[in-house]
Amino acid sequence: MKKYARAWVIAGFSLTALGSIVNLVVLVDHGYLDQGSVRADVQLIVLPLGSLAALWAWWLLSKMTALISDHASLFKSAFIGLMVESLFLCLYYVTVLWSWQGLAQFTWQLWMQAFGAGATAVGFLLMALTFSNRSGLGQSASQ
């Protein structure tokens, strides 16, 4: 199950990163970087860079395994917390998409990010479930 959990987490972060990169490209194409505000420029660039950093980090961290049984409950709790965070992020995107009428030109990128957050939440739930199985402790992540 850990392979499937890892695939969901990586797919979710990949969708979120791709959506934020496409959103950046669209905004740059519409001249948003020409506004002359350093703060606005940083805001446009930070989300794609943060998404790529999260993808990279979770590519590595999703290979974790608890070698000591006392740590399994900590990992499980951490993944449940990350699942809740991803669900809130998904809810945020869906709420923004349904409430702002002027987003029509940016909708599909934000839906990618919403689906990415939802997929990540599923992956984190599956990761938490893998740490519920105490017989799997000490096995490598690829098993």
Residue 66 domain flag: yes
Residue type, 121: A
Residue 143 domain flag: no
Distance CA 125, CA 36 (A): 43
Q: What's the whole-number mean pLDDT along residues 54-77?
A: 76
Distance CA 74, CA 57 (A): 19
Residue 29 has pLDDT above 60, yes or no: yes
Residue 49 domain flag: yes
Residue 142 domain flag: no
Q: What's the confidence (pLDDT) of residue 143?
A: 40
Residue 141 domain flag: no
Residue range(s) defining the domain that contains residue 60: 2-136
Residue-wise pLDDT for 99-139, tens only, equals: 766 655 557 788 888 899 999 999 999 988 988 765 444 44
Number of domains in the chain: 1
Assess contact for 29 and 105: CB atoms under 8 A.
no
Residue 120 domain flag: yes
Q: What's the confidence (pLDDT) of residue 138?
A: 43
Residue 128 domain flag: yes
Q: What's the whole-number mean pLDDT along residues 30-54?
A: 76
Residue 14 domain flag: yes
Helical H segments across 30-142, by residue range:
38-61, 69-99, 107-130
